[in-house]
Amino acid sequence: MPTKNSQSANSLRNIIPAPLEVSDSGGSFNPSQLCSFHIDELYFSLKKEFVEMCAGYRMELHETPENSAQIILKRNAGYSEEEWSANISDMKITLESSDLNGMRYALTALRQMFAIAFNCGAHYAELACGKIHDQPRFGWRGFMLDSARHFQSVETIKGILNVLAAWRINRFHWHLTDNSGWRLELDSVSSLVEDFELDRGSYSKAQVLEVISHATAKGITVIPEFDIPGHSRCIIKKYPNLTCGENPESREICIGSRQARKFIKNILSEIIDLFAENPYIHIGGDEAKTTNWDKCLVCQAAIEEKKFSNSRELEHDFMQEMTRFVVSKGRTPIVWGICSDLTYPPDTIVQCWLDIREPVRVAQNGNKTIYSVHNSLYFDYPAVPSEPHESWMFELSERGVYMTDPHIIWPEKVADSVLGTEACLWTEFVPEWRIFSKIIERLPAYSECAWSQNKNKEWSDFQRRKDNLLAAGLISDL
Ligand SMILES: [Zn+2]
């Protein structure tokens, strides 16, 4: 005698990331029965995905005529951005939100409930009745992909975006330039895409627009990164006059050169035009050495003219000029965390990666911050010591990702300044074929860290929910 699907009895409590509030009302909805569905106009773009999801479980779904069982995607103007709810009774499922992303997230939850309910066979599939009300802890839930060191095809990037969307990640930070590779085909620097250290490949403007279009359809904002004034050897090899002493092996732009600054602004303009709808531009600002600047006559003359005392102050002047330029184009600049006491204008977002105290300093300077501290959110770090890695990399377990909290120290000082989190996948040791193995297992834990309130997070309960979704094929099949 078959037993009742034990997971469906608890289907409201199998969701990842953990929702804000869940309440049971008793009874169950049978998704195998004939259902009508109604979708408010705002969500028409999600109709195909919704119908295909239901078809995947062989649900009999009709837009008309009215059947006694219904699934409704309804606009609720009273909800805030990305907020959603699911109200399940024995004959009706009502999903509500005020925007597209809210409804997308309601559908990811419904998909998880369906996957677990149908895992025991359509005949026994049941969804528990009750209500889920949910909204994110952080509005910025990002993922950074390094396409500069190792290259990924557009198809692979679309696959990554699909997986990110399933875990409600809403920012895709695209690291496109570095010492070992330049991946953007631009009119101003077109010859750069021919010279790579690790593997070949570049993105045409049409391909970039294809990625942006795919991300937009998934509710994800794409943020390009052009890393300056360090991490620039690839561009310097082709344009040695950009660096101090025209040394083609240098990694740093000559920040004292007016011509170099003008050239960089031309590139920035073209990137800004290409990412036309994107409100953010990342301009790096990390790990530049002062060695060449300290010896360069041009840089030293600029330091004297501007009455600075050292090369770091000139570097800061360079970054200030570039952030101001981005702002003048109507965009918000993002930079990597500051390793010195120098500051940025308040409209610059600082992505903190160095240590857990960095967000406190950034908050005191009046900047918003994104939390990406390396020992808990750098996905290139090995999950086990046998994975290829550098000696300076920490071991990063799934639990380490799960326990990440941007408010870990002095929450009262950083609460207003932390926009959210961003996991980063650097690719020195991650060729294209290893990408998914580095992210699939970690994204559910990261999703809960970025979305769920601490009071709703519990490691053993997360593992239970993840095991159930794994058993239903949802994590590996995304
Ligand atoms: Zn110089």
Give the residue, 468 or 475, on which the prediction is more confident: 468
Residue 442's pLDDT is what?
Answer: 95
Q: Give the per-residue pLDDT at 412.
A: 81
Average pLDDT over residues 139-152: 96
Q: Do residues 163 and 238 both lie within one domain?
A: yes
DSSP type of residue 75: E
What separation in Å is there between the alpha carbon of 305 and the centre of ligand 1? 14
pLDDT at 386 over 90: no
Same domain membership, residue 351 and residue 382: yes
- Vertex 313 angle, CA 308 and 314, to 5°: 85
Cα gap 244→302, rounded to integer Å? 12
Band of the pLDDT at 477, cuts 50, 70, 90?
low
Q: Cα of 156 to ligand 1 centre, how many Å?
A: 39
> Is 3 a residue whose pLDDT tops 80?
no
Q: Strand pairing partners for 24? A: 130
- State in Å: Cα 229 to ligand 1 middle: 11
Beta bridge partner(s), residue 203: 184
What is the total count of domains within the chain? 2
> Distance from the CA of 460 to the center of ligand 1, in angstroms?
55
- 292 neighbors 250 (Cβ within 8 angstroms): yes
The answer to whether position 275 is within a domain reads yes
Contact indicator for 265, 325 with CB cutoff of 8 Å: yes
Structure tokens at 376: 């808990």
Query: Domain check: are 122 and 167 in the same one?
Result: no
Query: Is the residue at 448 inside a domain?
Result: yes
CA of 299 to the centre of ligand 1 (A): 4
**Is residue 53 assigned to a domain?**
yes
Residue where a domain terminates, one of 135, 159, 176? 135
Q: Residue 98 and residue 197: Cα distance in Å, rounded?
A: 47
**Tally of CB atoms within 10 A around 345:** 14
Residue 129 tokens read as 């009745």
CA dihedral 67, 71, 77, 82 (to 10 degrees): -170
- Do 77 and 177 belong to one domain? no
Q: Are residues 71 and 31 in the same domain?
A: yes
How far, CA to CA in Å, does 120 sit from each of 3, 234, 468, 473?
A: 9, 54, 12, 12
Question: Could you tell me if 59 and 113 lie in one domain?
Answer: yes
Handedness of CA 343, 349, 353, 356 (dihedral sign): positive
Which whole number is the average pLDDT over 424-433? 94
- For residue 321, how far is its CA from the centre of ligand 1 (angstroms)? 16
Do 314 and 188 fall within a single domain? yes
CA separation, residue 230 to residues 197, 236, 239 (Å):
17, 10, 14
> Are residues 333 and 190 located together in one domain of the fold?
yes
Does residue 161 form part of some domain? yes
Gap from CA of 56 to ligand 1 centroid (Å): 60
CATH number of residue 78's parent domain: 3.30.379.10
User: CA 130 to CA 138: how far, in whole Å?
Assistant: 25
Tell me what the mean pLDDT of segment 356-365 comes to. 88
Cα of 283 vs centre of ligand 1, distance in Å, is 19
CA of 249 to the centre of ligand 1 (A): 14
Q: Are 340 and 361 in contact (CB under 8 A)?
A: no
Tell me how far the alpha carbon of residue 272 lies from the centroid of ligand 1, in angstroms.
26
Residues 130, 147 within the same domain: no
CA of 173 to the centre of ligand 1 (A): 30
pLDDT in tens, 300-327: 999 999 999 999 999 999 999 999 999 9
Higher local confidence (pLDDT), 472 or 220: 220
334 within 8 A of 280, measured Cβ to Cβ: yes
145 and 106 housed in the same domain? no
Q: In terms of residue numbers, what domain contains 85?
A: 8-135
Distance 109 CA to ligand 1 centre (A): 54
Contact predicate 336/284, CB 8 Å: yes
Q: Per mean pLDDT, which range of 5-14, 179-188, 382-391, 438-447 is the poorest? A: 5-14
Q: How far is the CA of 367 from the centre of ligand 1 (A)?
A: 29
Question: Mean pLDDT across the stretch 254-271?
Answer: 96
Q: What is the pLDDT of residue 8?
A: 43
Evaluate whether residue 3 is within a structural domain: no
Q: What is the mean pLDDT of residues 348-362?
A: 90
CATH number at residue 396: 3.20.20.80
Please tell me whether residues 276 and 146 are part of one structural domain: yes
Residue 324 lies inside a defined structural domain of this protein: yes
Q: Are residues 126 and 170 in the same domain?
A: no
Average pLDDT in the 321-350 region?
89
In this prediction, residue 9 has a pLDDT band, given cuts at 50, 70 and 90, of very low
Distance 293 CA to ligand 1 centre (A): 5
* pLDDT value of residue 1: 35
Ligand 1 center–CA 252 separation, angstroms:
9
Q: Is residue 465 part of a domain?
A: no
Q: Is residue 419 part of a domain?
A: yes
